[in-house]
Amino acid sequence: MREIVVISGKGGTGKTSITAAFAMLGGADVVVADCDVDAADMHLLMHPDYNFAEDFYSGEVAYIDQSNCIRCGKCVDVCHFDAISVKNKLFVVDPISCEGCGYCARVCPTKTIVNNDRLAGKWFISKIKSGSIMVHARLGIGADNSGKLVAKVKNEAKEIALEERKGFILVDGSPGIGCPVVSSLSGANFVVLVTEPSVSGLHDLKRVYELVKKFKIKAGCIINKADVNPGKCAEIVQFLSENDIVHLTDLPYDENFTKAMVLGQTMVEYDHGVLKAILTKIWEKVKQLSSG
Amino acid sequence: MTDRKPLKIAIASGKGGTGKTTLSTNLAAYIAEQEEVVLVDLDVEEPNSGLFFKGELIHEEAIFKMIPQWDETKCTLCGICPKVCNYHAVIQIGPTILVFPELCHSCYACSDLCPTAALPMIPKKTGTLRDFGIGNLHFVESLLDIGEAQAVPLISKTKKYVAANYGNVSITIFDSPPGTSCPVMEATKHADFVILVTEPTPFGLHDLSLAVETMRALARPFGVVINRYGIGNDEVIMYCREENIPVLAKIPNNRKIAELYSSGKLMYRDFPEVENSLSDILEYCVKEVKGGIA
Ligand code: SF4
Ligand code: SF4
Ligand code: SF4
Ligand code: SF4
């Protein structure tokens, strides 16, 4: 079983549309993991049935039981996150600011602070229209995206793939360079970097590639909307060759990506011409590279 | 425009790539034509605003977070510190205490509760803050070090720097990180007004609805700017109407705008309709906040 992760540094580069096209082309042999839990969009194209759903708890949040509070103020003094304040003479925790460090509960003289498990989101196992299975999630508002939910989604996808003897896991990776993307990348056999030819695209590509290098994972790159800025595109190609990143393909600026999205379709369902042909060829290549 | 209290506007979006940076940079440059303004890039994992300005670097500093450092000579191996750390950032292996800086949230519990003061807190670099001057525009950006896991401490320190140095400038714009998790909350929770940037597509609508929930949880007043207006469908407009969310402006879908963005160029001067939109947005924010405060 091989693991392919698609990332882009930042959003808006067409990463999810491309991942969904690959998922469709891969059909029943590809278990999909939507690890972009902070802005999960795969479901809008893959039409999951939410067959299995479960709450996901991660970390804790402090709660002050007023009945035993003697208003000594110790908790306020020790909290380094300004999460406890006095409202109408009552000491209360702001659950959004609370980091769940548990310090206040340890010093409270009357032990009236409890640490509750924090509901961090929900995760799902679904049948999807490619004839396969997708593991996906929804991060709770203001939850700590520490990568734990991402890791959960990935591990579940892996287990299913092993159990059902699937050939591939395809991961829609998280943005940024922090914990979630680290969780998305760990264990990958091949990384597809999706970028666009702009100053910010190149800048973000370089930063996220630093991370990929640390993991020593083989990488390939798709330059989306390549014709918007041929100069920048050439700079990206240069960067790819200097860093031994496979230049997979260039895709044109094409509003059909949006039109397909409006219909809830992947690009390979919407288009039956050049784009579909390119995407099909690239998917075969990615599969090959991930197995090499 | 001189007698109002300082206004803090945060620009955010449910996900990246919707035009958040385009709006932040163009709005800041537009305001700077008339008065002093501060633009702060809090998207510390992928700061992009700086690519649009070439200013003079007036200040640079390393930003630190506090982590405990084990002092072997004072430690009695009492076993308290590994027990009080909720993040497993300090563990005991045989006669040794190990600290994992990436996991540490700087809560001070281990350090304060160590009976022999064997875990003093010391600074560890997490990123770099840079402050540029470009005429009326002060541009502050912070860059998270690669391999550093937590953006929130860097965001909050950057906000403190801005408050200390530019607290009385009449308008400050915060370019926030994308998403709905902790870093966004940190970047937007003190804003007087939040502008959510979205695209009129199914992805845009879905991400916007999450961003709206976030702003409602924070009880921040907010409005929406629709970028690339004309592609996709009308569902974002319908959603805003149903939810009673003001749409401050619609920036047209135009390949020329995408091209200017791709070269790191500001675009409002080339598009009068965009310049009008910026003026509308600013006017709305000022009025809204004044109305809310008075
Ligand atoms: S658990 Fe930590 S962050 Fe939360 S209120 Fe208590 S001391 Fe503050
Ligand atoms: S430390 Fe405990 S008793 Fe003291 S104010 Fe806080 S909650 Fe109340
Ligand atoms: S709490 Fe202090 S004395 Fe006790 S094991 Fe930790 S470092 Fe050593
Ligand atoms: S400061 Fe807090 S988070 Fe950091 S190691 Fe100590 S107890 Fe753990």
CA dist., res. A19 & res. B31, Å (int): 40
Q: What is the ipTM of this complex?
A: 0.83
Question: Does B17 contact A96 at a Cβ distance shorter than 8 Å?
Answer: no
The SS3 call for residue A130 is coil
What residues of chain B lie within 8 A of the CB of A44, using their CB? 202-203, 206
In 3D space, the residue among B164, B173, B228, B158 whose CA is nearest the CA of residue B37 turns out to be: B173
Shortest distance between the Cα of B232 and any Cα of chain A, in A, equals 6
Ligand 3 centre from B117 Cα, in Å? 8
The pTM of this model reads 0.86
The token duo for A142 is: 């203001």
Give pLDDT, residue B293. 44
Which candidate in B51, B106, B180, B215 is best for mutational testing of the A interface (most A CBs within 10 A)? Answer: B180
Q: How far apart are CA A137 and CA A148, in angstroms?
A: 11
Q: Where are the alpha helices (DSSP H) in chain A?
A: 15-26, 43-46, 74-78, 103-107, 148-163, 179-185, 199-215, 230-242, 256-262, 267-270, 274-291
**Backbone phi, then psi, for B14, in 5-degree steps?**
-60, -30
CB contact (8 A) between residue B46 and residue A9: yes
Tens digits of residue pLDDT in B267-277: 888 888 889 99
Half-sphere exposure of B193 (CA within 13 A, CB side): 26
B115 touches chain A (CB under 8 A): no
Q: Which of B44-58, B202-216, B251-265 has the highest average model confidence (pLDDT)?
A: B202-216
Yes or no: say if B89 and B25 are a contact pair by the CB < 8 Å rule.
no
Pocket (CB within 6 angstroms of ligand 3): B 70, 75-81, 97, 114-116, 118-119
pLDDT at B261: 80
Q: How far is the CA of B93 from the centre of ligand 1 (A)?
A: 27
Which 186-205 residues of chain A touch chain B by CB within 8 A? Answer: 196-201, 203-204
Highest-confidence range of B2-11, B69-78, B272-281, by mean pLDDT?
Answer: B69-78
Domain topology for B7-64+131-290:
Rossmann fold (3.40.50)
The DSSP string of A142-197 is T----SHHHHHHHHHHHHHHHHTT-SEEEEE--SSSSHHHHHHHTT-SEEEEEE-S
Ligand nearest to the CA of A104: 1
Structure confidence at residue A254 (pLDDT): 87
| Contact criterion met (CB below 8 Å) for B164 and B90 | no
The values of phi and psi at residue B2, to 5°, are -105, -20
What is chain B's alpha carbon radius of gyration, rounded to the nearest angstrom? 22
Domain parsing of chain B, residue ranges: 7-64+131-290, 70-119
Q: What percent of chain B has pLDDT over 90?
A: 59
Whether residue B115 is predicted with pLDDT greater than 90 in this model: the reply is yes
Cα–Cα distance measured from residue B176 to residue B8, given in angstroms and rounded to the nearest whole number: 12
- CB neighbour burial string for A122-136, b if at least 16 within 10 angstroms, e if fewer: bbbbbbbbbebbbbb
Which of residues 53 through 72 in chain A touch B, CB cutoff 8 A? Answer: 59-60
The alpha carbon dihedral of B73, B74, B80, B86 has a sign of: negative
CB A30 within 8 A of CB A166: yes
The verdict on domain A2-47+128-291 having CATH code 3.40.50.300 is yes
Contact: A262, B107; criterion CB under 8 Å: no
Distance B81 CA to ligand 1 centre (A): 17
Residues of chain A with CATH 3.40.50.300: 2-47+128-291
Q: Looking at residue B2, what is its pLDDT?
A: 47
The pairing of beta strand A168-172 with beta strand A133-139: unpaired
Domain with CATH 3.30.70.20 in chain A: 58-119
Residue B292 pLDDT > 70: no
Q: Which CATH architecture has domain B70-119?
A: 2-Layer Sandwich (3.30)
- Interface contact A148, partner B, CB < 8 A: no
Q: Does domain A58-119 have CATH number 1.10.10.60?
A: no
What is the pLDDT of chain A when averaged over all its residues?
92
